[in-house]
């Protein structure tokens, strides 16, 4: 009989459309509320049966991510107690505020659950929570509201498609230090529980009333973020510009897919050292 086929999973980039931070908790984490969408760009993982746990890394950002013991993909596999031959194609920049490592770990949980007897979504989310704050959201990889330290998730099934450009200026930003440098925070009460998801236009109007609290402290570590935001703001068809997560990746929301594609081409031409991708969010 032929052996099991290789299982493949796509690790979609996580975009914090807004991120409001509350008080620091006794466990050291901050309370937060964030509206999260996922892009159609991301890393790729392939899983094959193996008596040992092995990880190989390739792709444009492989050099920034060694297949070392503390790699989140390996930690996810160990959390499940499973072995596999895992190949990771690293397309997303590392330490960039779009959940690359978290998305990889979440994809590893999903892929290993398909390769071996399925432990079920509830168990996967429990494993994910033990690995990191963003990983439960990345396991679901669907539009949602994220609360607590990231473990309280509310799926948003009626979410409109958003046309975006993602830009990273090739600068890694340390998440822990950004949180530690936070001086001003919106808190949790500013965000209404109900808002209009009937289309991209009302959603963008709503997002204009929110912000990313981590943008200001991230600028202290990566001042180039200000240049990225400014370049996005001058693009035709732009509707909203913001940093994602703890940075340094920023995103612009555009009024059409064509406008986003044209902006991405212009930014790639004017800043060849930057990582730029047109994407749809949903």
State residue 1's pLDDT score. 32
Q: What is the pLDDT along the chain (282 residues), one digit of tens a residue?
A: 344 578 999 999 999 999 999 998 888 889 999 999 999 999 999 999 999 999 999 999 998 876 566 789 999 999 999 999 999 999 999 999 999 999 999 999 999 999 887 777 888 898 899 999 999 999 999 999 999 999 999 999 889 999 999 999 999 999 999 999 999 899 887 766 567 888 999 999 999 999 999 999 999 999 999 999 999 999 999 999 999 999 999 999 999 999 999 999 999 999 999 999 999 999
Report the distance separating Cα 108 and Cα 33, nearest Å. 25
Q: What are the extents of the domains in the chain?
A: 7-155, 162-281
State residue 66's pLDDT score. 61
State residue 67's pLDDT score. 52
State residue 34's pLDDT score. 96
14: annotated active-site residue: yes
Report the distance separating Cα 277 and Cα 282, nearest Å. 15
> Any idea which residue has 């006794």 for tokens?
26
The secondary element (H helix, E strand) that includes residue 207 is helix 200-207
- Considering the four listed CATH numbers 3.40.50.720, 3.30.230.10, 3.90.1150.10, 3.30.465.10, the one that applies to the domain covering 7-155 is 3.30.230.10
Q: pTM here? A: 0.94
Beta strands in the chain (DSSP E): 7-24, 30-48, 54-58, 85-89, 144-148, 152-155, 162-168, 238-243, 250-254, 275-281
Q: Which residues contact 170 (CB under 8 A, 6 or more apart)?
A: 93, 273, 274, 275
Catalytic residue among 43, 90, 104, 134: 134
pLDDT digits (tens, 9 = 90+) for 241-263: 999 999 999 999 999 999 999 99
Among candidate residues 192, 189, 226, the one with its CA nearest the CA of residue 207: 192
Report the distance separating Cα 17 and Cα 156, nearest Å. 13
State residue 196's pLDDT score. 82
State residue 6's pLDDT score. 87
Q: Is the peptide bond before 248 cis (omega within 30 degrees of 0)?
A: yes
State residue 115's pLDDT score. 85
85: annotated active-site residue: no
Catalytic residue among 14, 43, 90, 213: 14
pLDDT digits (tens, 9 = 90+) for 102-136: 999 999 999 999 988 777 788 889 889 999 999 99
Architecture category of domain 162-281 in CATH = 2-Layer Sandwich (3.30)
What 8-state DSSP symbol labels residue 62?
G
């Amino acid at each position: 009989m032929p052996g099991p086929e290789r299982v493949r999973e796509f690790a979609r980039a996580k975009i914090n459309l807004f991120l409001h931070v509350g008080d620091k908790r006794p466990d050291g984490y901050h309370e937060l509320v964030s509206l999260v969408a996922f892009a159609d760009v991301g890393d790729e993982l392939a899983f094959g049966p193996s008596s040992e746990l092995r990880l190989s890394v390739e792709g444009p950002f492989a050099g920034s991510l060694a297949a070392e013991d503390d790699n989140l993909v390996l930690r996810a596999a160990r959390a499940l107690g499973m072995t596999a031959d895992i190949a990771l194609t690293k397309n997303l920049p590392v330490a960039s505020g779009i959940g690359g490592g978290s998305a990889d770990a979440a994809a590893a949980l999903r892929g290993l659950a398909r390769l071996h007897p399925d432990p079920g979504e509830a168990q996967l989310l429990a494993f994910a929570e033990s690995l990191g704050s963003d990983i439960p959201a990345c396991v679901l990889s669907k539009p949602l509201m994220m609360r607590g330290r990231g473990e309280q998730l509310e799926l948003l099934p009626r979410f409109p498609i958003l046309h975006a450009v993602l830009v990273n200026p090739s600068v890694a930003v340390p998440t822990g230090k950004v949180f530690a440098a936070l001086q001003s925070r919106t808190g949790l009460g500013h965000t209404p529980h109900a808002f209009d998801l009937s289309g991209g236009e009302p959603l963008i109007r709503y997002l204009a009333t929110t912000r990313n609290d981590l943008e200001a402290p991230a600028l202290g570590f990566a001042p180039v973020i200000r240049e990225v935001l400014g370049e996005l703001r001058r693009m035709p068809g732009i509707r909203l510009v913001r940093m994602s997560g703890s940075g340094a990746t920023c995103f612009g929301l555009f009024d059409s897919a064509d406008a986003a594609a044209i902006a991405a081409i212009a930014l790639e031409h004017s800043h060849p050292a930057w990582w730029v991708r047109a994407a749809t969010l949903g």
